[in-house]
Amino acid sequence: MAGILRAWTVAAAVFVFAASAPSDPGEEFPKGRIIQKVVTLHDPAQSYALYLPKDYTPDRKWPILYGYSPAGRGEDPVRVFQKAAEKYGWILVGSNNSRNGPWEPIRAAIEAVWKDTRARFSIDDSRIMAGGFSGGARVSFNMMAAVKGAEGMEVAAVFPCGAGFGSQGAPPEGSRTIVCGMAGRGCFNFPEMRLRTMPALKARRIRCRLLVFDGGHQWPPEDTVLKAARYVRMAMLCRDGKGDGKEAAELLREDLAEAEALLRDSGAGFYEGRDRLADLADMFKGCPAEKDIAARLAALEGDERVKKAKAAEDALKGMLAELKAIADGNERFDRMLERSREFSREYAGTPAALSLSAELSLAARAALMQAQQLLQRKDYPAAARLLERIFRAAPNDPTVAYNLACAQAMAGRREDALNTLAEAVRLGYGDLEHMKKDPDLDSLRSEEAYKKIVADLEKKAAGGGGR
């Protein structure tokens, strides 16, 4: 794919084999082990982590997943997807050079890995996949657009973790690419994925699912990745007219069992289970399984929880329209915070309640801009009051927590500032260099609690990660 990226309009135990890459593309790599660094044949400055399934052989074509980390740690996506790759027979590669930052290095890194893997390995062009976390998730969507635009090839699947579309925006309507997103319930990008990314994909008739796990802004756990891989495999079989085969039937059996378990949940799980059934009914349309799935789905229509969910959707539309009509941003935010509490009590657990919570988080981030202006004007008490209100609305956002700690420190509330700063780091704030230089925190430097926060963050930074 020479020059493909130039077509972009920029905007459990792991066995590690730490060997150097062979210089000959025909030379074999160990299989069933993660190789941390494979240097590309054409550019010694570029490298990637690699995993080949235990039964890999160049005698046939293999699916491949290109993984991207926001911190340039190619081993991260390879490690996260390793079990799924072994189960479904994928080659895994993760760029060691693609990281959050200027665009040109990202473009060069992705192109280098693409070129090298196609020279070394036997790849099935109909099963090219991409996945990444945070900024790496956005890169995976951009790669999808680039492959389609420059090569006329369609990426078979994308696994965005903790973030949505990249600079290229949503894929075109009717794309055959399958998307399975993953996000922690406490991730600050969860509202984006739930309210923007997934609805945009569905509106374009793109097969997609969002898997939510307990956690924050982080790589998904192994069991969630395995579910994502199963979903993509099942969707591919149905898309390719093999939904009535033995393999699809077995995958469907597992997915239906999970849906039924969700339906037994007394809270939000019930609605997730119902959505799962609706997705499966559409996926297996025209297959023998369609009738049974549709019958199970129809049987739920009389459930009071389904009626409650529909009423909640109507109520949410009315509330958002009412709030939008309020011209003053401060008043709108206050009313939204008040109404969301009432709504959550009345429609607890419904998808509408979760959507409202996500909308509130987005509104809180907008209000954060006003709080930053107050900080710039040195009105620290007012900034602290606004940020405290925002933090109540978005209690999982590390940026809000950090700014609140700064305002509290400048307002002379040192104990509150230290507690809030520790919470910001716990939630995922990781800009250690900025924290050390930020004059807003000067009053805290001599405190033992501040020194411990810095020490803990240094340990986190040494382990890698990113936004």
Here the tokens at position 49 are 């982590």
Cα torsion angle, 293, 298, 304, 309, sign? positive
pLDDT tens per residue across span 274-316:
999 999 999 999 999 999 999 999 999 889 998 998 899 899 8
Residue 424 C-alpha from the chain's centroid: 20
Residue 378 predicted with pLDDT over 60: yes
Q: What does the pLDDT read at residue 25?
A: 55
Residue 3 predicted with pLDDT over 50: no
Task: Give the pLDDT band (50/70/90) at residue 268.
Answer: confident
DSSP string, 352-413: HHHHHHHHHHHHHHHHHHHHHHHHHTT-HHHHHHHHHHHHHH-TT-HHHHHHHHHHHHHTT-
pLDDT tens per residue across span 171-222:
889 899 999 999 998 888 888 898 889 999 999 999 999 999 998 899 999 9
Cα–Cα distance between 261 and 132 in angstroms, integer?
29
Residue 449 predicted with pLDDT over 60: yes
Mean pLDDT of the chain: 88
Contact 254, 246 (CB under 8 A): no
Q: What does the pLDDT read at residue 20?
A: 40
Q: What does the pLDDT read at residue 15?
A: 24
Task: Give the pLDDT band (50/70/90) at residue 45.
Answer: very high
Cα–Cα distance between 225 and 219 in angstroms, integer?
9
Cα–Cα distance between 10 and 105 in angstroms, integer?
12
Cα–Cα distance between 369 and 168 in angstroms, integer?
25
Find, among 215, 237, 256, 203, the residue nearest to 428 by Cα.
215
